[in-house]
Chains A and B, each alone.
Chain A
Amino acid sequence: MGQRIIVIPAYNEERTIAEVVGSAVKFADRVVVVDDGSRDQTGALAKEAGAVVVRHAVNRGVGAALGTGIEAAVRLGADTVVTMDADGQHRAEDAGRVFDRLAQGDVDFVIGSRMKRGDEPGNMPAHRVLFNTIGNLLTFMLFGVWVTDSQSGMRGLSHKAAHTIELRTNGMESLSEFLKEMKDKHWKMAEVPIKAIYTDYSMSKGQNFFVGVKVALKLIFRRFIG
């Protein structure tokens, strides 16, 4: 079996990054942290915890960081790539489940869905469910792809997907852009239920209403013009 690499985009996450990397290394052969121009100790702490750190000289947004991380993973010889958030909202064992799903070999793209009920009940706060549903609807209208959690930061890419993905947007809107890529490149997709850990910290880091509106506008721009 080829290398399993976890990619974590991180921007000013010194409070959580060491713990996140520490648990991620148990479920992957390598962990790549993209330090997206942080002004704190994110990069140093990630390296100490065992990650390969790729550093953006200036902050470019989560989409750009994901693009860099996936490219780095490919250069490091990744067979499959799973992305996860740096704020501690994802459980590393869920990344393991996404890898396992990819290892079955019948899909190119896996979304770790916080909205899909598995053996454990979902625990997303109500207003997040609402934003997420709007995100899903918008993603469907713009790109014609229906998923239960279009804004999930936990995604898995097969060897083929990791080698061919091209992300053009820089910010949060790239999460929906993954789905456009999936559709354009005819990747087969699966969703794996995951459980998110909502702490005050991870809630403060996520998308708020205005970020959501900005993301929506950029997606529309990307769909029709960009």
Chain B
Amino acid sequence: MQAIQIVLVCFAVFAMSRVLIRFRRGGMRGFELFLWLVFWIAVVVVALHPSTTDLLAQWLGVGRGVDTAMYLSLLVIFYLLFRAFGKMEDLDRQLTRVVRANALREMEEDLAAEKSQQKN
């Protein structure tokens, strides 16, 4: 077994343990758990038997199995990046809504307090 195979398998096992811990704490839905486990198991399989990617390569029409794995991982990374970016934008907007609601409430409270002070 090559050193890179050991590293990849160890990392995949570590990643799966993190996924399971997150799932158990309720930070992840069952479907997400399933997808991540499939992904990391695929990583283990490919790491131990690199030739399996050749089958996929043949089917997709890409020259070498390793190239196919590279293309696919790039695709996955870009997708995740895109999703993370979108998620961040969402959070940004939600944070603004919270900050705005608070600011306006405080303004109205301040104005009401000033008014009642003037009356006294």
Contact indicator A55/B104 (Cβ below 8 Å): no
Contact indicator B100/A55 (Cβ below 8 Å): no
A64-72, A156-164, A194-202 - the one binding chain B? A64-72
Could you say which interface size class chain B belongs to?
Answer: 10 to 19
Give the complex CA separation of A208 and B102 in angstroms. Answer: 31
A58 in the interface (beta carbon within 8 A) = yes
- Determine the chain A residues whose CB is within 8 A of the CB of B95 once the complex forms: 58, 60
Give the complex CA separation of A225 and B87 in angstroms. Answer: 12
Known: A168-B93, A170-B92, A221-B89. A52 touches B99 (CB 8 A): no
A-B contact count (CB 8 A): 48
Tell me how far the C-beta of B52 lies from the nearest C-beta in chain A, rounded to whole angstroms. Answer: 35
Contact indicator B107/A67 (Cβ below 8 Å): no
A71's partner among B104, B106, B111 (CB-CB below 8 A) is B104
A25 in the interface (beta carbon within 8 A) = no
A34 in the interface (beta carbon within 8 A) = yes
- Determine the chain B residues whose CB is within 8 A of the CB of A60 once the complex forms: 95-96, 99-100
B50 in the interface (beta carbon within 8 A) = no
**B-contact 0/1 string along A50-67, CB 8 Å cutoff:** 001111111010001001
- Determine the chain B residues whose CB is within 8 A of the CB of A68 once the complex forms: 99-100, 103-104
Tell me how far the C-beta of A156 lies from the nearest C-beta in chain B, rounded to whole angstroms. Answer: 22
Chain A, residue nearest B95 (CB): A60
**A-contact 0/1 string along B79-118, CB 8 Å cutoff:** 0000001100100110110011011101110010000000
Residues of B within 8 A of A (CB): 85-86, 89, 92-93, 95-96, 99-100, 102-104, 106-108, 111
